[in-house]
């Protein structure tokens, strides 16, 4: 394969020239990051076989290129305050309800003035919970390392109703009531059948691409296409609370598992239908929601104090 040539403003630009341009242009880096953030995050590799790069096994991620400044407005009409960070790092954020994952990134860019910010592991807007955010060039380059980590979720199912999006944001349809009530024992028995290695059909309302088109774009046009099943694994799932029609479960699963689809499938197995009313991601690998920060409480001047170091926690990959 020959050298890549990209046309820009009618003139051919070699890959080498483009590389030099990236060193001085934030625009190209920003566009590249936006494209990367919209890609599907499914990973078929077993997270227990994956190893993180040596880069992630150290604390602060310091290189000369990671010395950057935060320009923050203190008050309209007054001078701008510049804050200098000496390292890249990762933040644990508790994503608010009705925010997209990119909304979190956009908010942090706004308060810091830093463009090189990204996230790993997209959450649906209606969902809340743990989101890992990378600040700075080196951190954003390493975000893919987190995608293979196992996830834990707490999901609340609304039984007796279904949704075309499998969650509360879609068109809700009520199903006929069951002839006999659902008991705790029956629910636990059904839930146990979903444990282990399974295949799962991605929902139409998802960012997964088929033929270059995102599934949700087709779904919004009323188009449904055949989707190939993906491999997932449910390590643990148990009932946390039950008061019909609401059922809350805790799910520990492999990366790439669609919880909305799991909820829908459980509803079918229970023969009453269900959709995901609430969803919170409580853990990614060794990182827990208890250690996450409310994004609105982040202070740009103290950004480095919020950083977490992966270090010894990633010994789980040696098991």
Q: How does pLDDT run across 2-21, given as a tens digit for each residue? A: 443 333 344 444 565 445 54
- For 291, which DSSP code? G
Annotated catalytic residue, options 124, 150, 167, 265: 124
* β-pair partners for 72: 81
Ordered domains of the chain (ranges, CATH) = 25-149+289-318 (no CATH), 151-284 (3.30.2350.10)
| Mean pLDDT confidence for 226-248 | 96
103 is catalytic: no
| Mean pLDDT confidence for 283-304 | 92
Report the SS3 class of residue 131: strand
How many Å apart are CA 169 and CA 214, to the nearest integer? 18
| Mean pLDDT confidence for 154-175 | 97
Residue 15's pLDDT is what?
Answer: 60
168 vs 51, residue with greater confidence: 168
Q: Which residues of 124-143 are buried (b: 16+ CB within 10 A; e: fewer)?
A: bbbbbbbbbbbbbbbbbbbb
| Mean pLDDT confidence for 85-109 | 91
Mean pLDDT taken over the chain: 78
Q: How does pLDDT run across 167-225, given as a tens digit for each residue? A: 999 999 999 999 889 999 999 999 999 999 999 998 888 878 888 888 888 888 888 88
Residue 86's pLDDT is what?
Answer: 54
Of 8-12, 139-143, 164-168, the range with the lowest mean pLDDT is 8-12
Contact between 249 and 191 under an 8 Å Cβ cutoff? The reply is yes
Per-residue confidence band for 41, with pLDDT thresholds at 50, 70 and 90 = very low
Residue 311's pLDDT is what?
Answer: 53
Q: What is the CA radius of gyration of the chain?
A: 22
Report the SS3 class of residue 108: helix
Per-residue confidence band for 241, with pLDDT thresholds at 50, 70 and 90 = very high
Residue 305's pLDDT is what?
Answer: 87
Per-residue confidence band for 85, with pLDDT thresholds at 50, 70 and 90 = low
Residue 149 pLDDT > 90 = yes
How many Å apart are CA 31 and CA 241, to the nearest integer? 44
- For 202, residues 6+ apart whose C-beta sits below 8 A from its C-beta are 208, 215, 227, 230, 258, 261
């Amino acid at each position: 394969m020959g050298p890549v040539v990209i046309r820009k403003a009618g003139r051919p630009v070699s890959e080498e020239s483009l590389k030099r341009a990236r060193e001085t242009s934030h625009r190209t880096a920003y566009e590249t990051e936006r494209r990367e953030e919209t890609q599907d995050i499914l990973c078929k590799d077993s997270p227990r076989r994956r190893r993180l790069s040596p880069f992630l096994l150290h604390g602060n991620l310091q290189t000369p290129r990671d010395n950057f400044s935060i320009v923050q407005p203190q008050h309209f009409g007054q001078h701008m305050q510049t804050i200098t960070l000496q390292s890249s790092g990762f933040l644990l954020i508790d994503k608010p309800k009705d925010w997209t994952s990119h909304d979190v990134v956009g908010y942090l860019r706004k308060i810091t003035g830093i463009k090189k910010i990204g996230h790993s592991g997209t959450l649906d807007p209606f969902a809340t919970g743990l989101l890992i955010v990378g600040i700075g060039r080196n951190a954003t380059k390493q975000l893919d390392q987190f995608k293979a980590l196992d996830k834990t979720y707490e999901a609340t199912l609304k039984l007796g109703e279904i949704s075309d999006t499998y969650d509360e944001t879609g068109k809700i349809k009520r199903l006929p009531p069951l002839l006999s009530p659902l008991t705790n024992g029956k629910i636990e028995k059904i839930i146990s059948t979903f444990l282990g290695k399974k295949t799962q059909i991605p929902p139409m309302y998802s960012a997964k691409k088929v033929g270059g088109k995102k599934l949700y774009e087709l779904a919004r046009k009323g188009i449904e296409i055949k989707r190939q099943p993906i491999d997932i694994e449910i390590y643990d799932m148990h009932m946390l609370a039950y008061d019909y029609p609401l059922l809350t479960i805790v799910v520990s699963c492999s990366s790439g598992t669609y919880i909305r689809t799991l909820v829908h499938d459980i509803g079918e197995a229970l023969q009453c239908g269900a959709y995901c009313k609430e969803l919170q991601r409580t853990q990614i690998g060794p990182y827990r929601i208890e250690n996450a920060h409310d994004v609105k409480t982040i202070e740009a001047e103290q950004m480095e104090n919020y950083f977490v170091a992966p270090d010894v926690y990633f010994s789980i990959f040696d098991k």
